[in-house]
Chain A
Amino acid sequence: MKKLLSLVLFVLACLYLAAPVFAQVEVDDPEYYTKFQGQNRSINVHNWGDYISDGSDEGMDVIKEFEELTGIKVNYTTFATNEELYARLKGGGALYDVVIPSDYMIARMINEGMLEKLNYENIPNAHYTMESFLNAQYDPTNEYSLPFMWGTVGIIYNTEVVDEEDLGSWDLLWNEKYMGEILMFNNPRDAFAIALNRLGYPMNPENKEQIREAAEDLKDQKLLVQAYVMDEIFDKMIGNEAAIAPYYAGDYLLILEDNPNIGFFTPETGTNRFVDAMVIPKGAKEKECAEMFLNFMMEPEVALANMEYIAYSTPNQGTYDLLDEETKENEVLYPSQELLDKTEFFVELPTELNLYMDQMWTEILSTDEQYSKWLIPIVMILAIVASITINLLRAYRKRKEKDYLQTMDQLRKQL
């Protein structure tokens, strides 16, 4: 009887362990996370689309784990570009507790006083940050941000369409042979960086002249470009809709999973290297809860789950140590020092250049033919004139009808 009972217990225990529902993350200090348990708190997290492990593909559901561990509810929403995030924050309407912008945007936000300083006492896991990511250009004092992911930009191409001899440089994106097969970044910073680097200028332009020249190149390129996209490139590259697209290195690995005919290279003239880091915007209502979330995201196991899901490179030493040799040696994720030396970070541009770049970008997207500046006023005046004329004509016709009726009336009376 006893044996039977223990067998049943054993089986139950096995079931308990096997059931993924009960999977618990191993955290460094479980005590810490119980602070807000049962207080019904919630935080608003705003992240890039598809930028957290969500439990599909047998990975960890990071948000759910966090909610279960801490009892804090997470309202999770997504954005598509740094500039969109900036607009939402600047509008002042939406209050977020955690957002994850890229380097240059963080610098801009720090300068404009849009971020809260982090309280490191609440983030014991901050020590996992790799040394090379400390005192970065965008946050020299480490007061505002904790790095989340990093990576480089390169060109993803379809090996069945693109000839080998055309590879190697950004020129591939301007190659007329592949007209209509090329996708391009749908955000000004990334697109201009490519054009600038191709012209031999720094990726952070120094003056308007450089931006103007790059804009000319991008306008020329427009004829060859099939579409301006961001994350749409996943579907388009997997479905062989397009053959060439500049994008982030880690995403190449994801696309490769679904389409084996995909290649990747980093242009020899260098490229952009980015860091996306977690920050807390000014006005965050639940700063301590937000810091708890940051701490949770820095747990090596959690960061590993995110890394495996997103396939970008991790700036977390604890996570890096957990990786197998094969991943560590993956040139796409962790390029050689020689290549890294050729990469550039984006820095915050002076307002004037930023504005000019945005303007040129809109111009690139909007022009195909040149119209006169006066066209709109003229069209409007014409419309007003037409409207008045029709009204007058109508009044005239009515009066004539009335006259006619009156004459008829008179005639009838006379008869």
Chain B
Amino acid sequence: MRQKAAAAPYILWMIIFILVPLALVVMYAVTTPDGQFTISYISQVGEYAPVLVRSVWLAFVATVICLVLAFPLAFIISRRSSNSQRTMIMLVMLPMWMNFLLCTYAWMTILEKNGLINRFLANFGIGPLEMINTQGAVVLGMVYNYLPFMLLPIYSVMTKISNSVIEAAQDLGANWVGVLGKVLIPLSIPGISTGVIMVFVPSVSTFVISRMLGGGGNLLIGDLIDLQFLGNAYNPNLGAAISLVLMVLILLCMSITNQFGGEDMEGVIK
């Protein structure tokens, strides 16, 4: 009995700093500044449909690219000796320690019209390519920043797949497509679904990457929320309404991904 009470401070904390603030978001979203009930803010969010669609679309593309890039890498790493596994995971983790704003800023230097890539290409008479201030640049920024979040969960699931399972499948006549489709992918579904969430959620709600790499003309939901709270269009009620829609959107996406596998968020930690 006494041990159960140890959770009391935590419960109190979560009520004050998680549940109450979320309730406040809902409250702000459905009231006018003088406290009247209204749904006009929620319906106003509909006007920003292009922004929502663009955010979801870009985040989706970034998630797919992350998945395609991370899956083989996770497999390659998980087949190495434990010593080299550790080194390679360290190699992947290290960039996560760098401030993501600075890394994104460095990408500006690389992608610009007179940036490093274009200067390099100019030596061969190619270009200049238009890379910065495009949606492609925004996707690249997302992939760069969130790739490790896809890699780590998949990797942690894959280390549990023993080589003998793969060999058994091969012995039973499966070619590599079969091994991939019937063994590897189904077994790593929990990691994949965690990874998808861990990449999709921050991508869909980012507001810095789009501003730095997208040139300010490609607003995303995150930018829109920032504009309402600390930006040019001061309107916390509308901002709360957009946040609410974003939250619901993400919970829906989550419940869909959860249909496919692990509900216990495999590999969130580690």
Contact = CB atoms under 8 A, between A and B. Distances in A.
Tell me if chains A and B make direct contact, with any CB pair below 8 A: yes
- Contact residues of A: prevailing secondary structure: helix
19 contacts: A81-B232, A83-B231, A83-B233, A83-B234, A87-B229, A87-B234, A91-B236, A188-B232, A358-B232, A359-B233, A362-B224, A365-B217, A367-B50, A371-B49, A371-B50, A376-B49, A384-B252, A387-B252, A387-B255
Contacts of A362: 48, 219, 224, 227, 233
Given A227-B217, A365-B216, 9 more contacts: A86-B234, A226-B133, A228-B215, A229-B216, A366-B224, A372-B49, A376-B45, A376-B46, A394-B259
B50 A369 contact: yes
B255 to A, nearest CB: 5
A362 to B, nearest CB: 6
A113 interface: no
Contacts of A355: 235
Contact of B232 (A83, A225, A375, A386): A83
Given A227-B133, A362-B227, A365-B219, A391 B259 contact: yes
Interface of B: 45-53, 112-114, 130, 132-133, 215-217, 219, 223-224, 227, 229-236, 245, 248-249, 252-253, 255-256, 259
- Contact residues of B: prevailing secondary structure: helix
A380 B233 contact: no
Contact of B47 (A365, A373, A390): A373
A239 interface: yes
B232 A361 contact: yes
A324 interface: no
Contacts, number: 106
Given A228-B216, A365-B219, A371-B49, A383 B231 contact: no
Contacts of B235: 355, 358
Contacts of A391: 259
Nearest to B56: A379
Contacts of B248: 380
Interface residues of A, number: 48
Contacts of A361: 232-233
B215 A226 contact: yes
Nearest to B245: A376
Nearest to A371: B49
Contacts of A241: 112-114, 132
A342 interface: no
Interface of A: 81, 83-84, 86-88, 90-91, 180, 186-188, 222, 225-229, 239-241, 355, 358-359, 361-363, 365-377, 380, 383-384, 386-387, 390-391, 394
A187, A227, A386, most chain B CB atoms within 10 A: A227
A371 B46 CA distance: 9
A87 B231 contact: yes
The 9 closest A-B pairs by CB, nearest first: A227-B215, A228-B216, A358-B233, A371-B49, A373-B46, A83-B232, A390-B259, A383-B252, A87-B234
B114 A377 contact: no
Contacts of B231: 81, 83-84, 87
A187, A229, A362, most chain B CB atoms within 10 A: A362
Given A187-B232, A227-B217, A240-B114, A374 B46 contact: yes
A244 to B, nearest CB: 14
A228 B234 contact: no
A383 B253 contact: yes
B51, B53, B234, B248, most chain A CB atoms within 10 A: B234
B256 A383 contact: yes
